[in-house]
Structure 1
Amino acid sequence: MNKSVISWALYDWGNSAFATTVMAGFFPLFFKQYWSAGSDVTASTFQLGLANSLASLLIIFIAPALGAIADQGGARKGFLYACTLLGAGMTGGLYCVAQGEWLLAALLYVGGSSGFFASLIFYDALLVAVATPERYDRVSALGFALGYLGGGLLFALNVAMTLQPHWFGLADAAAAVRVSFLTVALWWGLFTLPLAFWVPEPPGGGRRGLAAVADGFRQLRATFHEVRRLRHIGLFLLGYWCYIDAVDTIIRMAVDYGLAIGLPAESLIVALLITQFVGFPAAVLFGRLGERLGPRTGIYIAIVVYCLVVLWAARMETAAEFYLLAVVIGLVQGGIQSLSRSLYARLIPADKSAEFFGFYNMLGKFAAVIGPILVGWVSLASGEPRLSLLSLLVLFALGAWFLSRVNIEQGTRMARELE
C-alpha cells in the first residue's frame, strides 16, 4: 500500500469516531437518559428516529448537486474539508448542551450528521484517485477496516472515561460523555490531515466559482438521464437502497432498541466495542473475499447473515445474546459496506466519481429516512419494539433481488466507454 492509499484510509480512521462514539454509542444513550430525561421511552425513540431521518433528508437534497459541482471544479477535497468542519464543529457543540435540552441536542446532531454524511460523498469519490479498478475491493476494505479500528480505539477511551471519570479529572459519567463529544471533533479533524497532504485531487472540468456551479447543475441534469439509461447502475442503486436501509437502521437504532427491551446500558456499550474490534479484521477479509469470489457474492453472504441476526434479535432476551449478535454483525458490517462501494466504483465513469457517489449516498440516506422512522413508528404504535425489526427482512430480500439483476461485466464496460 502506498502513501496515498494509507492517507485516504486514515480519513475513515478519523471520521468513524463520529459513527461509533456519537451516532451508534453515546448520543442515543445520552439523548434518552440525559437530554430527554423524564420523557416517555417510546416518545424519545420516535424523536431520535426523527433526528436521524432529518439529517438524511438534507443529504438527499444536496448530495448529487454537490458531487457534480465538485467534479466540475476539481474540488472534491475542498468540499470534504468544508463538510468535516461542519460535522466536527457541531459535534463539539454537543458539549455545551445542558440536561433536558433535547431539541438543541437534536439540532446539533442533525448538523453533525449532515457534515459526516456529506463528507462521505467526496471521500468515496477519492477512491478512484488512489486505486486502480482491480484494487478497489482491497483498498475500499482497508478504509472500513481502519475506520473500525480507529473509531473503536477512541470509543474504548471514551467508555473508560465514563466508567472511571475521576481517572481523567472529570466530575461524573455525564461530564465524561460531554467531553467525549469534544474528543470526537478533535480526532476527526486530526486524521483529515494525511488526506489533505498526500491524496491527489482528481482533475475536474477546469471551472471555478459560479461557472463550476452552473456547469455542475448542467452535468447533474445530464447524469440523471445517464443513470436512467445505464440500466446496471440503476439496478444496483435500487438494490443498495433497499439493503443498506436495513443495515443503517440496525446500526443507528441498536442501542435504543436494547434499552427499550430492558438491557442495561453498560452491556450495550460493551457490545458496540465488540462490533468495532471484530469489524477490523473482518473488513480486511471481506476485501480479499471480494477479490477472490467477486463483490456481489460477498454482499449476498452478508445479507443472509443480517437476516439471521434480525430473526434472532426479535426474540432476544439477555445481554449475552446481544454480545453474540454484536460479534456476528461485526463479521459482516464492514464487508457489506466496503464491497458495495467497490462494486459501485466499477460501474461508474471515474471522471464523474463525486457526482455518481452523490447519487450513491443520496439513495443510501433516502433509505435511512424510511428505516429509523419505521422502527420508531412501529414501536410507538404497538408498544412492542420487537415487532419493528421483522420489517427489515423485506428490505434485505428486495436488495438481494435487485442486485441479482445487475450485469457487472457489461456495466463496467459501459462506464469505461463514458470516460
Structure 2
Amino acid sequence: MNLTATTRQRWAWAFYDWANSAFITTVVVAFFPIFFRKYWANGLPSEDITWHLGTANALASLSIMLLAPFLGTVADQGGIKKPLMAGFVTLGVCATLGLTIVGEGQWQWAMFAFVLAVVGFLGANIFYDSLLVDVAEEKTFNRVSALGYGLGYLGGGLLFALCVLLTQQPDWFGLADTTAAVRWAFGVTAVWWAVFSIPLWWWVRERAPKQAVRPPFLTLLRQSLTQLRDTFRHIRQLRVVWLFLLAYWFYIDGLDTIVVMSVDYGKTLGFPDDSLIKALLITQFVAFPAALAFGWVGNKFGAKRGILVGIAWYMVLTVLAARMTQAHEFYWLAAGVGLAQGGVQALSRSLYASLIPQEQAGEFFGFYNMLGKSAAILGPLLVGGVGALSGSPRLGLLAVLVLFAVGGFLLWKVPRR
C-alpha cells in the first residue's frame, strides 16, 4: 500500500468521528435533554425527568453491553465490520429522524426513539474502533486515534453552532418557532451523520478474515459463539488486558456520565438554556486542539500517563462543579472538560489497540465497548438515584468521584505491555 492510499484511509476513518460526533453533541448532550424536559415530558416532576433521562441512557448502554462481544466476534470471523457498522449507522440515523415527528407530551415515544438512536451510535462504534488496526500501525495509534477525536469535536462543534443559530433565530430560516427549529436540528443532525460517513465506506479497507471463503451466516454464528468463548478465556489469561478493561470500566463511566448528564444538571441548578448551550460550544472547540495535543503527549510520555493526568483533572472538575452557583462558572468548567475529554478517550482507544492481538481486533473491541457501555449504566443511574434520594443534584454528581478514583488506581496498576 502506497503512502497516499494509507493517508487517505486514515483520514477517511478519522472523518467518521466528524460525522457521528454531531449526534452526541447536538442530540444526546444538548437538545434532547432540554427538549425532553420542556416539551415531551412537560408537567412531570423534575426528579422524574432526570430519572427517565438516566434510564434511557442506561437502556441503550445495556443493549450494547449484551451485543458488543458477539457482534465483534461475528465481524472478525466473517470480515464484515463495515457491513455491520453500516446497519447500525442506518438504525441511528433513522431513529434520529424519528425524533422529528414525536408530539408534545409523548415522552415514552421520545425515549424509545432516543434509545434506538443511541444503540445505533454505540453499535457502529464497535466496528469503527476496531478498524483502527486496519488503517494504522501500532506506532501511529495515538496520533490517528487523536485525529479522529479532534475531527469529531470540530465537526460536532460546527454543526452544533449551526443548530444553536437555528433555534435562536428560527425566523431567519423560515421556521415558525423554536419548537420547529429543534425538530429541524434533529433532522439536520441525522443527515450530517449519514452524509459524512461516506468517506469511510469508499476508502477504508478492512483486513481479510482468516477464512478465505466466508461461510454461510448460520455457520458464521456458530463459529462466532465458539470464538467468543475462546476470546473470553484469552482475556482472562492476559492480565494486562483484563486489568486495563476493569480500569476503563470505572473511569470511562465517570467521563460518560459527566457528558450525558451535564446539561440536565445545569437545568436543575436553574441555569438558563443559552448559558448551557454556550458552555457546550466552549467544550467542543477547546476539545479539538486538546485531543490532538493528547496524541502528542501519548507518543512522548505514554498513553497510560496521559490518561492518568486526564482522570485527575476530571476529579478536580467534579468537585468544582458540585460547588458552583453561577452560570459563568459553568463556562470555565466546560473549558476544563474540553481540555481532557477527547484526550482520555483517544488515548484509551489507542492504548487498548496496542495491548490486543490485532487479528482479533473486532472481538476484543467488542469487549472494550461492552465494558465501556455497561459502565455507562451505573453512572447516570447513580447521579439520578442519589440526587432523587437526597434531594440534592450536587451529591449525585459527587458520587462520580468514586468511579474516577477506582479507575485511576486500577489503571496505575496496568503494566506497560
TM-score normalized with structure 1 length? 0.97
Give the equivalent residue in structure 2 for 1:123.
128
The alignment status of 1:375 with 2:383, answered yes or no, reads yes
2 CA distance for matches of 1:349 and 1:88? 32
Give the equivalent residue in structure 2 for 1:404.
412
Q: How does 1:253-402 map to 2 (within 5 A)?
A: 253-402=261-410
SS in structure 2 of the partner of residue 314 of structure 1: helix
Give the equivalent residue in structure 1 for 2:190.
185
2 CA distance for matches of 1:46 and 1:407? 39
Give the equivalent residue in structure 2 for 1:112.
117
The alignment status of 1:152 with 2:157, answered yes or no, reads yes
The alignment status of 1:15 with 2:23, answered yes or no, reads no
% same residue: 53
The alignment status of 1:174 with 2:179, answered yes or no, reads yes
Shift of 1:406: 1.2
SS in structure 2 of the partner of residue 317 of structure 1: coil
2 CA distance for matches of 1:346 and 1:213? 27
Note if contact 2:168-2:178 (Cα within 8 Å) is conserved in structure 1: yes
Runs of 4+ in 1 over 6 A off after TM superposition: none
The alignment status of 1:204 with 2:202, answered yes or no, reads no
Note if contact 2:92-2:119 (Cα within 8 Å) is conserved in structure 1: yes
Q: Report how many aligned residue pairs link the two structures.
A: 409
1 CA distance for matches of 2:107 and 2:364? 36
The alignment status of 1:249 with 2:257, answered yes or no, reads yes
Shift of 1:362: 0.5
Letter in 2 for 1:328: G
Letter in 2 for 1:200: R
**1:39 aligned to which of 38, 44, 69:** 44
Give the equivalent residue in structure 2 for 1:66.
71
Shift of 1:212: 1.7
**2:234 aligned to which of 220, 226, 241:** 226
Residue by residue, what CA displacement relative to the aligned partner does 1:313-354 show, whole Å, maximum 9, x if unpaired? 011111110000000100000000000000000011111111
1 CA distance for matches of 2:221 and 2:184? 39
2 CA distance for matches of 1:159 and 1:150? 14
Residue by residue, what CA displacement relative to the aligned partner does 1:115-150 show, whole Å, maximum 9, x if unpaired? 000110000000001100000000000000000011
Give the equivalent residue in structure 1 for 2:94.
89
1 CA distance for matches of 2:159 and 2:180? 17
Give the equivalent residue in structure 2 for 1:415.
none
1 CA distance for matches of 2:91 and 2:385? 30
The alignment status of 1:235 with 2:240, answered yes or no, reads no
Letter in 2 for 1:264: P
2 CA distance for matches of 1:351 and 1:323? 44
Residue by residue, what CA displacement relative to the aligned partner does 1:295-317 show, whole Å, maximum 9, x if unpaired? 01100110111000000001111
Give the equivalent residue in structure 1 for 2:139.
134
2 CA distance for matches of 1:237 and 1:394? 17
1 CA distance for matches of 2:173 and 2:361? 44
2 CA distance for matches of 1:353 and 1:166? 49
SS in structure 2 of the partner of residue 38 of structure 1: coil
Shift of 1:247: 0.3
SS in structure 1 of the partner of residue 176 of structure 2: coil
Letter in 2 for 1:97: V
SS in structure 2 of the partner of residue 408 of structure 1: coil
Give the unaligned 5+ runs of structure 2: 1-5
Shift of 1:215: 1.2
RMSD across aligned C-alpha pairs, in angstroms? Answer: 0.8
Note if contact 2:72-2:127 (Cα within 8 Å) is conserved in structure 1: yes
Shift of 1:191: 1.0
Give the equivalent residue in structure 1 for 2:31.
26
SS in structure 1 of the partner of residue 323 of structure 2: coil
2 CA distance for matches of 1:205 and 1:159? 48
2 CA distance for matches of 1:381 and 1:393? 18
SS in structure 1 of the partner of residue 206 of structure 2: coil
Give the unaligned 5+ runs of structure 1: 410-419
Shift of 1:408: 2.0
Letter in 1 for 2:375: A
TM-score normalized with structure 2 length? 0.97
2 CA distance for matches of 1:234 and 1:247? 20
Shift of 1:392: 1.2
2 CA distance for matches of 1:96 and 1:282? 37
- Structure 1, 199-208 or 337-346: larger mean CA deviation: 199-208
2 CA distance for matches of 1:265 and 1:354? 40
